[in-house]
Amino acid sequence: MSSSASVNLKALSSLRPDSYVPLYMQLAEQFVEIIRNSHSRLVGAALPSEAECMEYFKVSRPTVRQAMAHLLIQGLITRGRGRGTFVAPQRLDHDLSRAFEDEMRSTDRSVRFELLERATVKAPLRVREALQLPADQTVEKIKRLRLLEGEVFGYEERYISSAYSRQVTQQALKQKAIYSLIKDYAGEFPARFGLTIRSIAATAEYARILGVKRGSHLLSSEHTYFLASDTPVLYGAVLFHGDKYQFSVQTPISPP
């Protein structure tokens, strides 16, 4: 990772030992401001080393490491053993009220799908519960890759009841976002969804599919889609690179 730009220590102000804000947080906030103000220009730029920060700010090594850890948690930097610390690429921000594919296409970004597997299987317990199916019911299991500008950024594993699956074509699976697929087989767009987002470690299979190291942090978006009648029509999960993606949502707050 390299960049013609750099993060210059001389652009940062001196720290204030008498402030109620801890020194590591003062240092971190200065880096945050510089990176966010010029993120696109600084992607790949090397940050000053621990030793340089210690000398310039007259602080201890733990203080510098705490500041860097704060930046790492926010996804603003990446670290490589023996290579240094660099400004990370900006994460894609997805508004959960819209289909991701539609959101990207509205900004003229190319989104396509690669169908990995389509099979009829006996519904696992978690799928039966989510789709409210009897114990002996079969479902269609669909695995797809999502590619943005030709680069893999997500892996889908979805389940739909066999009553709907016969209406889903191979061509649609290669072209359509999930909202449009549901409209095709259910006759209407979904009215709501239940969603659980959590961080998981990449298994050997997920690491191979997404091109990451085993054990890397992935974002898992587990969901069930419902029609206006409250009928569940799809259950599944989508996995994303944890350092490249983030979710945003605006929703009314229920009164206590």
- Residue 149's pLDDT band, with cuts at 50, 70 and 90, is confident
On the question of pLDDT at 1 being above 50, the answer is no
**247: CB partners within 8 A, 6+ apart:** 93, 94, 96, 197, 219, 221
Structure tokens at 81: 């053993």
**Which of 119, 156, 154, 124 has the alpha carbon at shortest distance from 137?**
124
- Residue 254's pLDDT band, with cuts at 50, 70 and 90, is low
* CA geometry: angle 230, 231, 237, nearest 5 deg: 100
On the question of pLDDT at 71 being above 80, the answer is yes
What are the sequence ranges of the domains in the chain?
9-87, 92-248
pTM of the model: 0.66
Give the strand pairing for 217-226 and 192-201.
Answer: antiparallel
Residue 75 CA, distance from chain mean position: 11
CATH architecture classification, 9-87: Orthogonal Bundle (1.10)
User: Across the chain, what does the average pLDDT equal?
Assistant: 85
The CATH code that applies to domain 92-248 is 3.40.1410.10
Query: What pLDDT is attached to residue 37?
Result: 84
